[in-house]
Structure 1
């Protein structure tokens, strides 16, 4: 960890005290648990910056992006290996990060730096069904909900804004609510808008054989 980041982290801990667990439970409008939701906390106070030595990874496995949803801190670098035996052509037209990694198979392109907040939608020019997401957040406090719609973060005591995002959430901005952390706390977030339908991935093996 860079010295600057370490010093900032120690200063934050000294200001707010030791980290405490925060459990977040996210449910859809019908009451069902929301799995794969992006949960993160922001603060008006200074927060540690992304570690420039850390590499996040968005792989391609069995003609799918893996993980389907990746969360990184603003300023993070992401590498895009290809674990398939066929070529992929990864791209994004999202305002938060527009890029193109032309056909490749046996090599991993140079890592890309994601330095703008927002949702980055990924696609493959060869395999149209491939869809992935990278969420770039301006905080080191982030995670994703499990199958039960639950997520846990360890954060210093203080006042935060709790944000929730999901690829099937048809809203340009995250669902946000204030959260005061004095001790370990459990909070619930119930989405008010219905989710978009899930994607039915279809693959034509013959059409893309060898690519």
Structure 2
């Protein structure tokens, strides 16, 4: 892989050419020997907050081996957990910023829940590369990465089977534009729940 930075501009659309926001896009170099290790250290933890009984952001993407902090900005307690193979953990009932940061040593999808508020659902997606981002409202993302050969991958919890585990082989040499068009429409997102929890003291 070369040492010159290039700008890879990616647009993600569905099968009907509609622009898709909040899609994780990441580039894995075919030669990982020269890939820099830029995982967030403990003193620069990524943040998955809890605001208005929701995980914020709904989807957090981090580099493998990064640490994630789980503050609770609500005035009530939460009990965060995950049973995902990529990271299984539990942060028992707590409020404020008392929870210890968690390290995500493996790549993959981690589904978050709260034992107190069943509707709370969030995702942490850990990738084995420092070049990643989520698409904006226009379905676009820009990655600054060295010239070289890559697999361009994408992820969302709403992908259907035809679009899971897909990758695009591409060579980056200077600035480049790439469109990712899904084969299927995204699965419908879960409806928002009303904040009518009876356990107001927790």
TM-score when normalising by structure 1: 0.89
Give the equivalent residue in structure 2 for 1:193: 184
Residue 65 of structure 2 corresponds to residue 62 of structure 1: no
1:142-179, Cα deviation, whole Å (9 max, x unpaired): 00001111000100000100001011113494331111
Q: Decide which of 5, 9, 15 is 1:29's aligned counterpart.
A: 15
Give the equivalent residue in structure 2 for 1:181: 172
What is the deviation of 1:139? Answer: 0.3
C-alpha separation between the residues in 1 aligned to 2:58 and 2:20? 15
| Contact 1:88–1:102, Cα closer than 8 Å, also in 2 | yes
Give the equivalent residue in structure 2 for 1:12: none
| Contact 2:9–2:177, Cα closer than 8 Å, also in 1 | yes
| Contact 1:91–1:123, Cα closer than 8 Å, also in 2 | yes
Superposed CA RMSD: 1.5
Higher mean alpha-carbon deviation, 49-58 vs 193-202, is at: 49-58
Contiguous gaps of at least 5 residues in structure 2: none
Higher mean alpha-carbon deviation, 163-172 vs 93-102, is at: 163-172
Aligned residue for 1:16, secondary structure, equals: coil
What is the deviation of 1:106? Answer: 2.7
| Contact 2:70–2:97, Cα closer than 8 Å, also in 1 | no
What is the deviation of 1:202? Answer: 1.0
| Contact 1:129–1:203, Cα closer than 8 Å, also in 2 | no
C-alpha separation between the residues in 2 aligned to 1:51 and 1:164? 21
1:71-96, Cα deviation, whole Å (9 max, x unpaired): 00000000100000001010111110
What is the deviation of 1:194? Answer: 2.6
Give the equivalent residue in structure 1 for 2:25: 39
Residue 74 of structure 2 corresponds to residue 84 of structure 1: yes
What is the deviation of 1:206? Answer: 4.6
CA 1:173–1:115 in 2, change beyond 3 Å: closer, same or farther? farther
| Contact 2:40–2:46, Cα closer than 8 Å, also in 1 | no
C-alpha separation between the residues in 2 aligned to 1:193 and 1:104? 40
Give the equivalent residue in structure 1 for 2:200: 209
Structure 1 residue ranges (4+ consecutive) displaced by more than 6 angstroms after TM superposition: none
1:14-33, Cα deviation, whole Å (9 max, x unpaired): x5132111000000112111
